[in-house]
């Protein structure tokens, strides 16, 4: 596989991203998901660009995830713990099985890497 460069990922027009449908929205605002797959592996690992319009929904991804927020503003409400306010420029790591609710306030775009995390056991 060769190196892939995505120029100015924060400013790709939304209509140039793939339509990924809608998540199981909580409340009246129906979120719209869009994105771009950069890499996908048979084990479910993937990297890409993800965008979501305002609304609330439950996080259903159970892989570990490292993500950099490129645009927007949101709050992640973990199943356990205090809400996490997220702005463009923030980087988050979600351990496997991180459950909670996304509350998208302003359309969010992020670059992400999801993978199976297997810590070394000594």
Is residue 7 one of the residues assigned to a domain? no
Q: What is the pLDDT of residue 20?
A: 95
Q: Does the residue 85 lie in any domain? A: yes
Residue 8 domain-assigned? no
Q: Is residue 5 domain-resident?
A: no
pLDDT at site 24: 87
Residue 11 lies in a domain: no
Q: Which domain holds residue 39?
A: 18-115
CA distances from 111 to 23, 48, 80, 81, 82 (A): 18, 6, 25, 24, 24
Cβ within 8 Å of residue 13, ≥6 positions away: none
Under a CB-based contact definition with an 8 Å cutoff, are residues 67 and 46 in contact? Answer: no
pLDDT at 91: 98
What's the pLDDT tens digit per position in 73-119? 999 999 999 999 999 999 999 999 899 999 999 999 999 999 976 66
Cβ-proximal residues to 2 (8 Å cutoff; 6+ apart), any chain: none
Reference 101, options 29, 25, 19; nearest CA is: 25
**pLDDT over threshold 60, residue 120:** no
121 domain-assigned: no
- Under a CB-based contact definition with an 8 Å cutoff, are residues 6 and 38 in contact? yes
Give the per-residue pLDDT at 121: 45
95 located within any domain: yes
Task: With respect to residue 42, please indicate whether it lies within any of the assigned structural domains.
Answer: yes
Residue 25 confidence class, pLDDT cut points 50, 70, 90: confident
User: Backbone phi, then psi, for 110, in 5-degree steps?
Assistant: -140, 155
Which CATH number characterizes residue 45's domain? Answer: 2.60.120.10
pLDDT tens string 57-78: 998 888 999 999 999 999 999 9
Domains contained in the chain, number: 1
| Total-model pTM | 0.88
């Amino acid at each position: 596989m060769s190196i892939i460069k995505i120029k100015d990922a924060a400013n790709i027009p939304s209509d140039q991203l793939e339509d990924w449908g809608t998540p199981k929205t909580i409340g009246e605002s129906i979120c719209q998901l869009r994105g771009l797959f950069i890499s996908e592996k048979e084990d479910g690992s993937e990297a890409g660009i993800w965008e979501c319009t305002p609304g609330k929904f439950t996080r259903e991804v159970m892989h570990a995830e490292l993500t950099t927020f490129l645009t927007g503003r949101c709050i992640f409400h973990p199943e356990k713990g205090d809400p996490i306010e997220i702005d463009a420029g923030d980087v988050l790591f979600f351990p496997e099985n991180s459950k909670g609710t996304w509350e998208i306030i302003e359309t969010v775009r992020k670059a992400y890497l999801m993978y199976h995390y297997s810590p070394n056991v000594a």
